[in-house]
Structure 1
Amino acid sequence: MYEYRITVKTGDRPRAGTNGNVYVVLYGEEDLVTPPTKLDAFFHDDFERGQTDVFNLKNIQFDKVSVLELWRDDAGWYTEWNIDTITIENLSGGWEAVFPVFRWIKSNVHYKFRPYDTCLPKDDMFPEQRTRELEEKRTLYKYSQLEPGFPVQAPEIPLDEEFSFSYQWDITKKKLILMGTSKLKTLFRGDWESVEDVESIYDDNMFPRPSDCTRWLSDEKFGQQRFDGLNSMVILLCSVLPPKMAVDDEMMRPFLQGLSLEDAIKSKRTFVVDHSIMDGVTTRPGVFSCAPIALFFRRDDGKIVPIAIQLFQHLAPDNPVFLPSDPKYTWILAKMWFNCADAQVHQWIAHLGFTHIIMEGFVIATHRHLSQSHPIFKLLAPHFLYLIAINHRAVETLMNPGGHIDNTLSVGKDGGVQLIGRHRSLWRLDVAGTLPADLRTRGVEDQEIVPDYPCRDDALLSYNAIRSYVTKYVHLYYASDEVLINDPEIQSWRRDLDLPMEAGGLGIIGVPGSDGKFTTRDQFITVLTSIIYTCSVGHASVNFKQYDEYAFPMNYPSWLKGDPPKDKSAKTERDILDAIHSRKAQMKVMLVSKILSERSTRPLGDFAIDYVYDPPAVQIQKEFREQLKNISDVIKRRNETRECPYPYLDPAEIPNSISI
């Protein structure tokens, strides 16, 4: 006879607890089974939200549990109870196993689980339970398009996606706290008097001085901003001179260190950023924005610097090409207007549209088609934590009329919706969503072409680690391509990915496979790697540097006052000060960028909710964490010698999911 300890961890979700009576049956080998046993600790309120409860069962005839059967009655206020995990330990036999439930237990419904609860559909001992749960999930997770042209989103937040008690995101509350504990009252003194006046707004407490307040003055730093800034995945190698840009060899020769423009292009030393997507985008009333094109050149010392900026797409007498030889503040103002447009592309496309929102569709598809017992659900779920909740809170708080976006971005909500809609037809999972392919497509993968590219170099380390992790994990459960081809849940999930939105799918372009199916494990691995990378490293690259970039208004202005320059007449420092945010508007930018730059969840590989308990998979996770630790050490050493340290893609600083 054996004694068992049963440890039940109730979920930390709204309404997760229960006052119902809970019963279990344990199954052993050779048809041995315990009678139904009520789990109850005298004089103790069991199964409350976020609580762990322990029970002992005696006189068990078998030394291992092969199946746990569980149910609850309908006593109490709520008809469901949310469980994270149940651990069963043989106190006298040394056997122990975790049953990762992570489900809502409906009243008077019996559930059965095997240890570790991980299996493909073909191996499931309880197929009816699996089918029933998936049918229920499809009623909770639905596809919707919340704004014209947007990727798929959920029409409302499913209960499982709500923030836990221990993690709440309330931007209004945080703004009030920051305002009350800082010196931001200095922002109400009136107009800016000087650059030194702008620099005086920071303090040593809540609003420290950004890491670099001189980018606006330096061509080298402006060029470097294309490779370690917030929008570092748009610059590409220039193979043909943009026909929309009014430059010629005579104009460019002074900035090409003796090369002709043709030779500079042939030697792979010229680069271009073309924000044509901004052309004609709606702006806030009385606010202007540009659709610029900029050329950059790699000098003999390896520095990549701007050599020409044209602020609009169409050739015209009042659309000059600005050059480094122009009057100092005229050239600076041209760079600031370029950066203002770049900031719109960053916030709406690189950040909100194609990390936050594009990934929401994958979350919905995963819940609709993959059982929680499926190993791939367990692989992906930690990277989806709070993603739907943060998206909906952001839309409610930041995109509402008169909210942060309408007040601090030049295009406002309406223009931003247009930008996301325009880019949706351009975003391909196998290019924009796959880092090595994206770098190759833009011609910037080679260190000889771009010597100093922190976002590329640091991101590739983590991308490769994620792909290695995913490859091992997939091969653990899929011994061959044939096993994958015959997995109905995965193929159903795959079908929805590129099924047009009008037909009820996500409408994602560039999903590997053919005829709506995966035919190889490598295709599958590419998609899984893209999802995990985008939810972690990809989001970190466009999010956590926001305070450092936006907090100093000349470095990266989110909107500018007045008209973009239409001639090369000399400007002054006063013109710069008159163009940037008012003190009050800059306060709002600093508040929100500070909040959005905070890290609130655990780092990559250290999962706040871990669904993986199958021992071989646990070992793969362990190897992944060890690899990430080594990468963290490499990046820390790199930053010791970098002219501008770049800590944002250190795995120790990258959250697992888009939760802020």
Structure 2
Amino acid sequence: MASLPKDEMFSFSDQFDLKALGMRLKLEHKLIGFTSERWKSLEDLENVYKPPHFPKPSVMENWKSDKEFGNQRLTGCNPAMIRLCTKIPPNFAVDEKDVEPLLEGLNVSEAIKKKRLFIIDLKLLKDLPCTDGRKIPAPIALFFVNKDKYLMPVAIQLNQDPAPNNPVFYPTDPEYTWLLAKCYFNLGEAAIHESGSHLGFTHLIGEIIVIATHRSLSPSHPIFRLLAPHFLYLLAINYKGMTPLLAAGEFTDLNMTIGAVGMADIIKRTFSTWRFDVEGSLPTDLLVRGVSDPEVLPNYHYRDDALLLREAIYDYVKEVVDHHYDVPGKIAADHELQEWIRFMGTKPKFEGEVIGYMKGLPNDGHFKTAEEITTVVTDCIFIFSAAHAAANFGQYNNYGFPPAYPLWMNGSPPQDKTPLTEADIIEQLPNKEQTLDIMAFMKLLSTRGSKPLGDFEVQYMHGATYQKALKKFRAELKRIGDIIDKRNETREEKYLWLHPREVPNSITI
């Protein structure tokens, strides 16, 4: 794309220069003079965090604990990876005698039957090509919901194929050996988060929707009116903001183990299996992963708050769709609508295209019912708003303290149970320059730049029906905010990323 349409550009020319803004943050914090030397200790690293620009990320306080590690799967910035474990994969060499003491009197089969075991398998990272030939593990982790209803890690294998130099690590292993195994698991998950969950399945999927909408729907079309408020600045941030950061020798190459080469390959791999009607539709995604029941997986605040927002968006969209498509035959006769869904589901003809279309659209890209329209539009709006908010705005609280959720590790994953020390952890962490780059960039990404959900910058919803639906939507969002406020009063740690006042309408950062 050589240039952007005028109405898709940022209002201020420097707003999209993420690299310059990150540099300014470092200057204002008087950190630009740091050399590329390594940190002397964890305390040395911790002392760099000073408000207002770089307050201590919330994860810092308990980042070493297994409880915090488990909680990252449920309320961190990549909360849609955890799955119910229905069997131990044959390549996951978990030894029952090592893991059963961690299962509160259950054996592995009993824990599976009682739905107490959960798993994250990052097999798509196996043999991932990375910038400069760097390597990243493809780990598997097993988790157990204990009697106190906390999700706790009980086993981690750092690569897919069992081998003497690829053991399964347990919480009973030497303290810093187990801690380093957790760091390397997070390194793998962070790579998938930034490449797939964040960039791929919000920014890039969103771009497909934006282009299809402008190409196929007139501005007066009811679906255009529903969607357009959620497009603000997406193309601008993708085109002028993200592109330079992904260029050779820029942020991704310098501060992520996978580099731009690995990021592109993860996007390609994840899009080969991603479906709009599964991973792109929250209720189905939760069911498929086996985590929809709060009794089975408690303290999953992402799920609980996201479902409230998704239902509110659905009701809002349904009122508009049912009003417009009130007579049989209108849907089939709406050529703009049918072209919109067809275009999003059509694979481009030119070679080399990775993500130019979406799988899993109704009837292979054809609407038959108002319910299908409502569901697709609902999930589009959810992606632009809630899904991006959950994946994006908690980044400083996770990545901002690299040991807790590293984008870069030096050296190699542990290959045996040799006891390690804090010095061994420090040696593998990003150096000072990398750490400060990551801090500044993640602080910037965690800053909201547009109005909250339902409070639109540009008004497209004209007419009594649209205004009535919008008024009800805003009232429901207010009610949801009150519910989340109440929930946060009793949660050990507040989950703020999906409070309606914290969820922007669109992807502007």
TM-score interval w.r.t. the shorter chain?
Answer: over 0.9
User: Is the counterpart of residue 170 in structure 1 residue 17 in structure 2?
Assistant: yes
- 1:163 maps to a residue whose letter is F
Equivalent residue number for residue 272 of structure 1: 119
Q: Which 10-residue stretch deviates more, 240-249 or 525-534? A: 240-249
Structure-2 separation of matches of 1:480 and 1:243 = 54
Whichever residue aligns with residue 606 of structure 1, its letter is D
Matches within 5 A, 1:507-518: 507-512=357-362, 514=363, 516-518=365-367
Taking the TM superposition and a 5 Å limit, the aligned residue runs for 1:473-484 are 473-484=320-331
Which amino acid in the other structure matches residue 186 of structure 2?
A: N
**What letter corresponds to residue 40 of structure 2 in structure 1?**
E
Aligned to 1:467: 314
- Over the matched positions of the two proteins, sequence identity in percent amounts to 44
Match of 1:393 in 2: 240
Give the deviation of 1:159 after TM superposition.
Answer: 3.0
Q: 2:144 aligns with which of 290, 297, 300?
A: 297
1:381 to partner: Cα distance: 0.5
Instruction: Write the distance in 2 (CA, Å) between the matches of 1:509 and 1:539.
Output: 20
Aligned to 1:382: 229
User: For residues 649 and 296 of structure 1, what CA distance do their matches in structure 2 show?
Assistant: 25
Q: Which amino acid aligns with 1:239?
A: T
Q: How does 1:303-314 map to 2 (within 5 A)?
A: 303-314=150-161
Secondary structure of the residue aligned to 1:502 is coil
**Alpha-carbon deviation of 1:235?**
0.8
SS at match of 1:216: coil
Matched with 2:195 is 348
- Between the aligned partners of 1:220 and 1:307, the Cα distance in structure 2 is 11
Q: Which moved more, 1:350-359 or 1:631-640?
A: 631-640
Provide the residue aligned with 1:263 in structure 2: 110
Match of 1:453 in 2: 300
Q: Counterpart amino acid of 1:442? A: R
User: Which residue does 2:181 correspond to in 1?
Assistant: 334
d(CA) in 1 for partners of 2:179, 2:65: 9
One-letter amino acid of the counterpart of residue 598, structure 1:
T
Match of 2:472 among 623, 627, 642: 623
Aligned partner of 1:647 among 488, 496, 502: 496
1:234 aligns with 2:234: no
Shift of 1:185: 4.8
Q: Contact conserved, 2:190 with 2:407, CA < 8 A, in 1? A: yes
Q: Is the 8 A contact 1:491 1:518 kept in 2?
A: yes
**Alignment size in residue pairs:** 506
Shift of 1:282: 1.5
2:171 to 303, 317, 324: 324
Structure-1 residue corresponding to 2:333: 486
Counterpart CA distance in 2 for 1:515 and 1:222 is: 40
User: What SS does the corresponding residue of 1:300 show, helix, strand or coil?
Assistant: coil
Partner Cα separation in structure 1 for residue 453 and residue 430 of structure 2 = 36
Q: State the 1:502 CA deviation.
A: 2.2
Q: What SS is found at the alignment partner of 1:184?
A: coil
Task: Give the superposition deviation at 1:442.
Answer: 0.1
2:348 to 475, 492, 501: 501
CA distance in 1, matches of 2:342, 2:26: 49
Correspondence for 1:48: none
CA contact (8 A) 2:19 2:245 kept: no
Question: Secondary structure of the equivalent of 2:467?
Answer: helix
* RMSD of aligned residue pairs (Cα, Å): 1.7
Q: Could you tell me how far apart the structure 2 residues matched to 1:357 and 1:433 are?
A: 13
Tell me by how many angstroms 1:635 deviates: 1.1
Write out the 4+ residue segments of structure 1 that deviate beyond 6 Å after TM superposition.
Answer: none
- Residues of 1 paired with 2:30 and 2:502: CA distance? 28
Matches within 5 A, 1:113-124: none
Match of 1:580 in 2: 429
Return the letter of the residue paired with 1:533: F
Compare CA radii of gyration and give the structure with the larger one.
1
The residue aligned with 1:529 is 378
Q: Tell me how far apart the structure 1 counterparts of residues 282 and 197 of structure 2 sit (CA, whole Å).
A: 14
Partner of 1:250: 97
Task: Report the Cα distance in structure 1 between the residues aligned to 2:229 and 2:43, rounded to whole angstroms.
Answer: 45
CA contact (8 A) 2:23 2:440 kept: no
Q: Which has the higher helix share?
A: 2
The residue aligned with 1:192 is 39
Cα distance, 1:165 vs structure 2: 4.1
The structure 2 residue matched to 1:602, chosen from 451, 457, 464, is: 451
Q: Which amino acid aligns with 1:225?
A: Q
Length-normalised TM-score, structure 2: 0.96
1:563 pairs with 412, 423, 428, which one? 412
Counterpart code for 1:485: A
In 2, Cα distance between equivalents of 1:543 and 1:202? 21
Question: Is the 1:462–1:631 Cα contact (8 Å) retained in structure 2?
Answer: yes
- Alignment partners' CA distance in 1, 2:3 and 2:340: 21
Q: By how many angstroms is 1:641 displaced?
A: 1.9
Whether the aligned pair in 2 keeps the contact of 1:234 and 1:273 (CA below 8 Å) is yes
Cross-structure match for 1:60: none
2:399 equivalent to 1:550:
yes
Bigger relative contact order, structure 1 or 2, given CA contacts below 8 A and separation 6+?
2
Secondary structure of 2:81 counterpart? coil
Shift of 1:234: 0.8
Counterparts of 1:310 and 1:398, CA distance in 2 = 32
Whole-angstrom distance in 2 between the partners of 1:556 and 1:516: 39
Match of 1:538 in 2: 387
Of residues 208, 220, 228, the one that matches 1:373 is 220
Q: Which runs of 5+ in 1 are unaligned?
A: 1-153
The answer (yes or no) to whether the contact 1:215–1:555 under 8 Å persists in 2 is no
Quick one: which amino acid aligns to residue 587 of structure 1?
Answer: L
Residue deviations 1:396-426, cap 9 Å, x none?
3210111111111110001111100011121
Quote the Cα distance in structure 1 between the aligned partners of 2:15 and 2:438: 21
Q: Conserved in 1, the CA contact under 8 Å of 2:184 and 2:413?
A: yes
Q: Whose strand fraction is larger, Structure 1's or Structure 2's?
A: 1
Is residue 481–residue 519 contact of structure 1 (8 Å, CA) maintained in 2?
A: no
Contact 2:208 2:356 in 1 (8 A): yes
User: Given that residues 383 and 656 in structure 1 are in contact (C-alpha distance below 8 angstroms), is that contact kept between their aligned partners in structure 2?
Assistant: yes
Deviation sequence 1:290-333 (CA, Å, 0-9, x none): 10000001111111100000000011110000001100000000
Deviation at 1:615, TM superposition (A): 2.1
Instruction: Write the distance in 2 (CA, Å) between the matches of 1:200 and 1:347.
Output: 27
Q: Distance in 2 between matches of 1:188 and 1:506?
A: 42
What letter corresponds to residue 481 of structure 2 in structure 1? S
